[in-house]
Amino acid sequence: MTETAKSFRIYIPRDSAALALGADRVAAAVAAEATRRGVAIDIVRNGSRGLFWLEPLVEVATPAGRVGYSNVRPSQVAALFDGGWPACAAKDAERDVSHENPDGSWDAAMPACVGRVEAIPYLVRQQRLTFARVGVTDPLDPADYEAHGGLAGLRACLALDAEAACQTVLDSGLRGRGGAAFPAGIKWRTVSRAQSVQKYVVCNADEGDSGTFADRLIMESDPFVLIEGMMIAALSVGASEGIVYVRSEYPHAIAALEAAMAVARREGWLGPDVLGSGRACELRVAKAAGAYICGEETALLESLEGKRGVVRAKPPIPALSGLFGQPTLINNVITLASVPFIFAHGAQTYREYGMGRSQGTLPVQLAGNIRRGGLVELAFGVTLRTLLDDFGGGTASGRPAKAIQVGGPLGAYLPEAQWDVPMDYEAYAALGAVVGHGGVVVHDDTADMAGLASYAMEFCALESCGKCTPCRIGSTRGVEVIERIRRGDTSARQVKLLHDLCDTMVSGSLCAMGGMTPFPVRSALEHFPADFGLPDGAGCAEAA
């Protein structure tokens, strides 16, 4: 990219969250206005920083750093230039903008200057390892990627043999971020040691959970880090083909990944001779077709083989017999995107973050009824209260928060009494909750928890793969029982029936779809009995 001395470099995100709020039209308006006024500018379409309430967040590079303007609308661009923009950004960098609570105000007459973006507390307080480049770089610029530390991990990996590479992952303590939290290093070693000519690496980018967008943000805003992670994985386990299975609801992510793969191929980061090592690995994207269950790894493999996404019984585990019966490493986007940091900076450095057996960082996705929703990458151990108050700034509605669902549609609803428990796999398991993929969905006091419990069952009925009866039929019965209770039949018999149904689903389901749908249902019933028309305590299994 060439830049004349007087040209202003302006960053306008192309992440789908920014696009969903008009970023493309903002970029067009900025370009047109600059041309009309003869102001030399150079627009970079960066990713999003994940501070979504500020989007579209337009940044101007100044000697003091990048200065941000939040919630920019196309109709406001001319007035912005009238005020001396973008030249005034240099002065705005010095100006005393209150960083304490930079607040997006979607209805504001003019964009707000949020000052130096890197000084915004929401960002400063994070520990961004995996998301370090997100929003900073141009997602499709290979030089920008390398200038910000990219490829160091892959280069380090090329110097190791497969055993040592798998050991690095094991030593880092990294556990799968897709939900089950299985130690990544053990899985890698299993695939690595399996004897086969053909092996695969499959990246699970199905991200079906409500409240999650970390995978999407990586794919759209720093796709190279995922590509690098997949190459490290492929070399470590001996795979020559990698496939990213992306949900069809993410067309922008699919386009970004495909574009990034083409660049990476051109640069020799993948293909027949990875970074001149003489080793080969090809990558491609497979588009899913709107079935939640295809996020489950064996259903995903069935889908990749061209079939209906019906869950396979394990064993055999995919690590030994996966895609087309060959050894297959399946990891989530974030798991794979975390690996370049681990190889570049060492397993021990990564391990220093976190607590107990939950090591490294967890990208938390703050969503739902929250004032400042976005991506918060922190070492394990943060509490929901800190996330809600310090990062999120409370609910968007301004009403008291009531229940927080963590870990997607199969995760429990946590009442306020549990908001001080540190986020860690074991601590959450002790509550009967899950961390899952780190999705945090806040509901305020107007939420109808019985309605949400009913919806959880309905979603299971809609998305069940149909293989086992407790999940396929039990979920429909679950909706019926909850609706009966909601209509006023609050007898102990109905409550007991619902608990029995939940027990059957937990113990009789092949996968977590049927096995975990009871988590949101039971937690709603136990902690918010009033929403079901029940007296205090009447929602508990023991009471029923």
Partner 1 sequence: MVPTPHATLASLLARHAGRAHELLPLLHALQDTEGYVDPAHVPAIAAALNLSRAEVHGVITFYHHFRSAPPPSTVVQVCRAEACRSRDGEALVAHVQARTGAHIDGDACHGVGVESVYCLGQCALSPAVTINGELHARVSPARFDVLLADAVASKEGRHD
**Closest to 406 measured CA to CA, from 440, 437, 380:** 440
300, HSE (Cβ side, Cα atoms, 13 Å): 27
- Using the rule CB under 8 A, is 326 a contact of partner 1? no
Least CB distance to partner 1 at residue 151 (A): 27
* Distance separating alpha carbons of residues 56 and 15, to the nearest angstrom: 9
Residues paired with residue 358 on neighbouring β-strands, in sequence order: 355
CA angle 40, 44, 45 (to 5 degrees): 140
The dihedrals phi and psi of 136, each to the nearest 5 degrees, come to -90, -45
* Distance separating alpha carbons of residues 513 and 460, to the nearest angstrom: 7
- Using the rule CB under 6 A, is 179 a contact of ligand FMN? yes
Q: Which residues bind ligand SF4 (CB under 6 A)?
A: 293, 311, 464-468, 471-472, 509-511, 513-514
Q: How many helices, marked H, and strands, marked E, lie in the chain?
A: 23, 16
- Using the rule CB under 8 A, is 269 a contact of partner 1? no
Least CB distance to ligand SF4 at residue 445 (A): 33
Beta strands in 350-412 (DSSP E): 354-355, 358-359, 361-368, 374-379, 401-406
The dihedrals phi and psi of 363, each to the nearest 5 degrees, come to -75, 105
Least CB distance to ligand SF4 at residue 311 (A): 4
Give the x/- contact pattern for partner 1 in 38-57, rule: CB under 8 A.
--------------xx-x--
The number of residues in the chain equals 544
- Using the rule CB under 8 A, is 258 a contact of partner 1? no
Q: Helix %, strand %, coil % for the chain, to 5?
A: 45, 15, 40
Which of 129/285 has CB closer to partner 1? 285
- Using the rule CB under 6 A, is 232 a contact of ligand FMN? no
Least CB distance to partner 1 at residue 405 (A): 6
Cα separations (Å) of 66 from 59, 105, 259, 349?
Answer: 6, 20, 26, 29
Which of 150, 178, 392, 474: binder of ligand FMN (CB under 6 A)? 178
User: Any residues with CB less than 8 A from the CB of 43 and at least 6 apart, and which?
Assistant: 10, 11, 12, 27, 30, 31
Query: Which one of 22-30, 82-90, 172-180, 268-276 is the stretch in contact with ligand FMN (CB under 6 A)?
Result: 172-180
The dihedrals phi and psi of 505, each to the nearest 5 degrees, come to -65, -40
Query: In which element (H, E) is residue 41 found?
Result: strand 41-44
- Using the rule CB under 6 A, is 335 a contact of ligand FMN? yes
3-state DSSP call for residue 402? strand
- Using the rule CB under 8 A, is 303 a contact of partner 1? yes
Structure tokens at 403: 């229940």
Which of 46, 204, 326, 369: binder of ligand FMN (CB under 6 A)? 204
Q: 371: phi > 0 → left, psi -120 to 50 → alpha, else beta; which? A: alpha
- Using the rule CB under 8 A, is 324 a contact of partner 1? yes
- Using the rule CB under 8 A, is 32 a contact of partner 1? no
- Using the rule CB under 8 A, is 328 a contact of partner 1? no
Which of 447/506 has CB closer to ligand FMN? 506
- Using the rule CB under 8 A, is 309 a contact of partner 1? yes
Query: Which one of 139-147, 232-240, 349-357, 367-375 is the stretch in contact with partner 1 (CB under 8 A)?
Result: 367-375
Least CB distance to ligand SF4 at residue 539 (A): 24
Footprint of ligand FMN (CB under 6 A)? 176-180, 182, 204, 206-208, 293, 295-297, 330-332, 335, 511-513
User: Which stretches of the chain bind partner 1, using CB under 8 A?
Assistant: 16-17, 19-21, 52-53, 55, 106, 207-213, 216, 248-253, 286-292, 303-309, 324, 365-370, 373-374, 396-397, 405, 409, 439, 441-444, 447, 452, 455, 459, 463
